[in-house]
Chain A
Amino acid sequence: MRLEEHLRKIVGEPWVISGKERKLYAYDGFTAVEGDPELVVLPGNEEEAVKVIRLLLERGVKFIVRGSGTSLSGATVPVGGEVIVGLSRLNRVYSLEGYEMEVGPGIANVMVTKNAPPHLFYAPDPSSYVVSSIGGNISHDSGGVHVVKYGTTFNSVISLRVVLSNGEVEDLSYGPFLSALPIFVGSEGTLGIILRVRLRLYPRPKTRRSLFAVFPDVRSAGEAVVGIFKRGVIPSALEMMDRNSIKVVEMSRYRAGIPDVGALLLIELDGDEEEVEEQEEIVNGVLTDTGGARLSVADEGKVWNARKGAFPAMGVISPAYLTLDCNVPRRALPEVLEEVSRIAKRRGVFIANVFHAGDGNLHPLIPYDPSSPESLFRAIQASNEIVKEALRVGGVPSGEHGIGIEKVKFMGLYHGEAEMRVMRRIKDSFDPRGLMNPCKLLGGCEPKTEVTRWLWEWD
């Protein structure tokens, strides 16, 4: 039986997408590279998913597991004509017990908190949380604004059900010794397929307070970030927007009446009333010392939404952009941000910075014109320089968006040959035939287009 026919038998006629319509899965949130999936299959439950995956493994077909398709690093782009296994229909809540919820990988992040009792919440909240899937969040070890206090997705995963490359279904949880679970978090679908997840919920703090502060420039805002931690305050969120990103957001649907300033800090403090009072006083002191001024706003939710919508709001000035997510030590923020603006000038590109300042997770947004390869090339050149600068000051190439196809060449730069060899051996033991999400994370594919060559090779 032909593969397509066989897949249709498993999942039902409408859930295999072939012909030209399969191209709708040609890319995710990273649009610089267009893939070409051979077929798309959307199993409707765990049983069907296992059958589909076993069939693909049996036939030695390369495949990519996909959730909502919001990856910003192109982790689900079928660059090698792979089959796409979309798990968006596996979006059930299986159980809720105490502080734990068991869900399917296709459920949108926001639905976890929505399904939780009112006194609990799911902490990791990438800006795409209204759509991005829990399976994708785990595969990218996604962060979000609350990472600074509650950790990335990694800290909220209790157990996983995965399919391994031999077709076996395994339940993995943490153990005190050599534990199999952590390696799946952030593995970008290269080691196995996540079928089910048990997540940790946190009690909702009694008080949450938002503070907004404006600064004449990013340097002083960066100094305030460092100062807040130095004085012992761990905010539940600490975000920064620079002048360019404020400008873009104010032109978009998310306009929130933010003034035209050098930088805006969005700070959230949580805990008991007394604790929050005390923290607020300390933060006020830091703001005064660093030249910041409190900004009073009519609608706090609007300012937070402006932050969360800042990436796609770039659409108002440019239909495509690169989003980097390198992490740097907080102390280096002022220095790195200034270098980023020098790079922008040198390369002749526009760069907007809107990012998780609290954990030093930069997000330079570099718009480019998708109809002009030269413009994309310049954006890539600028991102090369930014990542190198981040590594120079002791940072890492990716904090939360994953490596995907976008950042593979930085892996070698950051890890060195020996570490890369170890990682490849791990990949080979989990997936000896290289069928799962090829070319991603560890690379190893020959670039077939000009753009993938720019992304994967140094000049």
Chain B
Amino acid sequence: MGVGLEDSCVHCGFCLEACPTYVVTRSEVHSPRGRITAVKLDVDSQGFDTCMFCRRCELACPSGVEYARIITKVRRATPEKILMNSLLERPRLAWRVLKAGKSLNSGLIQRVRLSLRDPQEPLEYREESPEVILFPGCLTSLAYRRTVENALKFLKAKGLRVSVLNGCCGLAHRSEGQVERAQELVRRLTNVKGGTLVSLSSNCTAHMRESGVQVLDFSEYVLGLLGQERVELSLTVHDPCHANMIGLGKATREVLRKLGVNLVEMEEPSFECGAGGGYFLFHPQIAENVMELKAEKIRRSGTNLVVSTNPSCSLVLSFKGFQVVHLADLLAQTVTKSLE
């Protein structure tokens, strides 16, 4: 079963406490080192499936083990996951299925509906020769139409021509081991022409950039547009895991600084939120334990308002009772104010 990359692991264990599933189980089976050992020793471990694919272990690894490439090679997506991912590729279709899903007798759809109580119709918006091609990301388009509208509102107020591109970047596929499909999806985005590709979901930004797509995160793009906008709020920032891998938290904080927000940092802002993409649908217990640990860290910051730039994180943080906003939601407020 070896994939040829596991041999660079020296078994030091420095990854253990960085891994959310190890932290809540404290079992080698659910740790990056254990998973790599399982690949080495050809053990079909349940740990392959319990990985949240947050890749924090890669940041902790002194030997530079390419964990993501190892785990995605040995994971096998179940038919249920494959079905869910293929729906995500077509957000409009997903919306219709979910809407109809109330009456469908599918366990998976019922579970999705529990977390996504109010699926929304993805926003369609097109302009001639756009300067910005706004990519909401599949889940944002379904769960946070309001954020897409807010982003659009801000960009329009800045006098930009915008087109919205609904679709999936393939990160969900990659995390479940559907590596080829992920590559096909991301390749389509490589060929997007006629405007700056701007992503509203920061984990998607990270995945696209790592795959060679010319893309800016919404935070990076708006940095150049900010003027006198002010937002008087106290809040904390969650760093979505993949976005954190490429350091997008910097841009997010820079935007907040320019807005004059009172930023109260939480403990370990990049600690996994507990969503793991769609992980929480399949491993509810581990996910719940991770979510609770994350919630503890946020509560200790003393603020209830959390900036999250990635939709699955936003969903689970809302479950935990936090008020969650995207940068676009904050920026839209400044537009209304200036109109008044």
Which A residues fall within an 8 A CB radius of B?
A: 15, 17, 20-21, 23-29, 31, 40, 42, 68-70, 86, 88-89, 91, 106, 108, 110, 128, 130-132, 252-254, 309, 311-316, 319-321, 370
A171 nearest CB across to chain B (Å):
25
* A70-B12, A88-B26 known; A312 vs B41 contact (CB < 8 Å): no
Say whether B38 faces chain A, with CB atoms less than 8 Å apart. yes
Q: Verify B37–A252 contact, CB threshold 8 A.
A: no
* A21-B46, A315-B65 known; A89 vs B14 contact (CB < 8 Å): no
* A21-B46, A108-B17, A253-B64 known; A315 vs B29 contact (CB < 8 Å): no
What mask results when residues 53 to 72 of chain B are scored 1 for a CB within 8 Å of chain A, else 0?
Answer: 00000001111110000000
Instruction: Report 8 cross-chain contacts, Cβ distance below 8 Å, ordered by A residue.
Output: A20-B41, A24-B28, A28-B13, A89-B26, A108-B17, A312-B62, A315-B63, A320-B10
Q: Verify A131–B8 contact, CB threshold 8 A.
A: no
Chain B residue numbers with a CB within 8 Å of A311 are 12, 62
Chain A residue numbers with a CB within 8 Å of B38 are 21, 23-24
Say whether B102 faces chain A, with CB atoms less than 8 Å apart. no
Q: For the complex, what is the distance from the CA of A21 to the CA of B28, rounded to whole Å?
A: 9
Q: Verify B12–A29 contact, CB threshold 8 A.
A: yes
Say whether B43 faces chain A, with CB atoms less than 8 Å apart. yes
Say whether B331 faces chain A, with CB atoms less than 8 Å apart. no
* A20-B43, A108-B17, A316-B63 known; A31 vs B11 contact (CB < 8 Å): yes
Q: For the complex, what is the distance from the CA of A68 to the CA of B11, rounded to whole Å?
A: 11
Chain B residue numbers with a CB within 8 Å of A89 are 26
Chain A residue numbers with a CB within 8 Å of B61 are 253, 312, 315
Q: Verify B12–A25 contact, CB threshold 8 A.
A: no
* A31-B10, A252-B64 known; A20 vs B29 contact (CB < 8 Å): no
Say whether B34 faces chain A, with CB atoms less than 8 Å apart. yes
* A20-B43, A28-B11 known; A313 vs B62 contact (CB < 8 Å): yes
Q: Verify A24–B12 contact, CB threshold 8 A.
A: no
* A253-B61, A315-B64 known; A21 vs B43 contact (CB < 8 Å): yes
Say whether B9 faces chain A, with CB atoms less than 8 Å apart. yes
What mask results when residues 295 to 308 of chain B are scored 1 for a CB within 8 Å of chain A, else 0?
Answer: 00000000000000
What mask results when residues 1 to 39 of chain B are scored 1 for a CB within 8 Å of chain A, else 0?
Answer: 000000111111110110000000011110001100110
Chain A residue numbers with a CB within 8 Å of B34 are 24
Chain A residue at minimum C-beta to C-beta distance from B41: A23
Q: For the complex, what is the distance from the CA of A314 to the CA of B64, rounded to whole Å?
A: 10
Q: For the complex, what is the distance from the CA of A89 to the CA of B310, rounded to whole Å?
A: 31
What mask results when residues 61 to 96 of chain B are scored 1 for a CB within 8 Å of chain A, else 0?
Answer: 111110000000000000000000000000000000
Say whether B318 faces chain A, with CB atoms less than 8 Å apart. no
Q: Dominant SS at the B interface? A: loop
A393 nearest CB across to chain B (Å):
30
Say whether B44 faces chain A, with CB atoms less than 8 Å apart. yes
Chain B residue at minimum C-beta to C-beta distance from A30: B11
Q: Verify A24–B43 contact, CB threshold 8 A.
A: yes
Chain B residue numbers with a CB within 8 Å of A15 are 27
Q: For the complex, what is the distance from the CA of A315 to the CA of B37, rounded to whole Å?
A: 15
Q: For the complex, what is the distance from the CA of A280 to the CA of B38, rounded to whole Å?
A: 50
Of the candidates B9, B13, B46, B60, which one forms a contact with A315 in the assembled complex, judged by CB atoms under 8 Å apart?
B9
Say whether B45 faces chain A, with CB atoms less than 8 Å apart. yes
The residues in B between 282 and 317 inclusive whose CB is less than 8 angstroms from any CB of A are none
Chain B residue numbers with a CB within 8 Å of A42 are 26-27
Q: Verify A321–B28 contact, CB threshold 8 A.
A: no
> What's the A-B contact tally at a CB cutoff of 8 Å?
110
Q: For the complex, what is the distance from the CA of A24 to the CA of B28, rounded to whole Å?
A: 7
Q: For the complex, what is the distance from the CA of A206 to the CA of B69, rounded to whole Å?
A: 46
Interface hub of B8, B13, B33, B65 (most chain A Cβ within 10 A)? B13
Interface hub of A21, A42, A128, A319 (most chain B Cβ within 10 A)? A21
Chain B residue at minimum C-beta to C-beta distance from A17: B29
The residues in B between 103 and 149 inclusive whose CB is less than 8 angstroms from any CB of A are none
Q: For the complex, what is the distance from the CA of A253 to the CA of B37, rounded to whole Å?
A: 22
Of the candidates A128, A252, A309, which one forms a contact with B13 in the assembled complex, judged by CB atoms under 8 Å apart?
A128
B45 nearest CB across to chain A (Å):
5
Additional A-B contacts beyond A17-B27, A319-B63 (17; CB < 8 A): A15-B27, A21-B45, A21-B46, A24-B28, A24-B37, A68-B13, A89-B26, A132-B13, A252-B62, A311-B12, A312-B10, A312-B61, A312-B62, A315-B12, A315-B61, A316-B8, A370-B7
Q: Verify A26–B41 contact, CB threshold 8 A.
A: yes
A78 nearest CB across to chain B (Å):
13
Chain B residue numbers with a CB within 8 Å of A26 are 37, 41
Chain B residue at minimum C-beta to C-beta distance from A313: B62
Q: Verify A131–B13 contact, CB threshold 8 A.
A: yes
* A315-B65, A319-B9 known; A131 vs B16 contact (CB < 8 Å): yes
Q: Verify B13–A29 contact, CB threshold 8 A.
A: yes
Q: For the complex, what is the distance from the CA of A29 to the CA of B9, rounded to whole Å?
A: 11
Q: Verify B63–A106 contact, CB threshold 8 A.
A: no
B166 nearest CB across to chain A (Å):
37
8 closest A-B pairs by CB: A315-B63, A312-B62, A312-B12, A88-B26, A309-B62, A315-B10, A20-B43, A24-B34
Q: For the complex, what is the distance from the CA of A46 to the CA of B89, rounded to whole Å?
A: 49
Q: Verify B28–A252 contact, CB threshold 8 A.
A: no
Chain B residue at minimum C-beta to C-beta distance from A318: B10
Chain A residue numbers with a CB within 8 Å of B37 are 23-24, 26
Of the candidates A69, A70, A313, which one forms a contact with B63 in the assembled complex, judged by CB atoms under 8 Å apart?
A313
Chain A residue at minimum C-beta to C-beta distance from B61: A253
Interface hub of B17, B33, B60, B62 (most chain A Cβ within 10 A)? B62
Chain A residue numbers with a CB within 8 Å of B43 are 20-21, 23-24
Chain B residue numbers with a CB within 8 Å of A315 are 8-10, 12, 61-65
Chain B residue at minimum C-beta to C-beta distance from A114: B267
Q: For the complex, what is the distance from the CA of A128 to the CA of B27, rounded to whole Å?
A: 18
Q: For the complex, what is the distance from the CA of A386 to the CA of B13, rounded to whole Å?
A: 27
Interface hub of B7, B14, B44, B61 (most chain A Cβ within 10 A)? B14
Q: For the complex, what is the distance from the CA of A23 to the CA of B11, rounded to whole Å?
A: 14
B244 nearest CB across to chain A (Å):
15
Chain A residue at minimum C-beta to C-beta distance from B6: A319
B228 nearest CB across to chain A (Å):
34
Chain A residue numbers with a CB within 8 Å of B33 are 69
Q: Verify A130–B26 contact, CB threshold 8 A.
A: no
Interface hub of B8, B34, B63, B64 (most chain A Cβ within 10 A)? B63
Chain A residue numbers with a CB within 8 Å of B47 are 21, 24
Q: Verify B17–A312 contact, CB threshold 8 A.
A: no
Q: Verify B13–A254 contact, CB threshold 8 A.
A: no
Q: For the complex, what is the distance from the CA of A230 to the CA of B45, rounded to whole Å?
A: 56
B256 nearest CB across to chain A (Å):
24
A309 nearest CB across to chain B (Å):
4
Q: Verify A319–B12 contact, CB threshold 8 A.
A: no
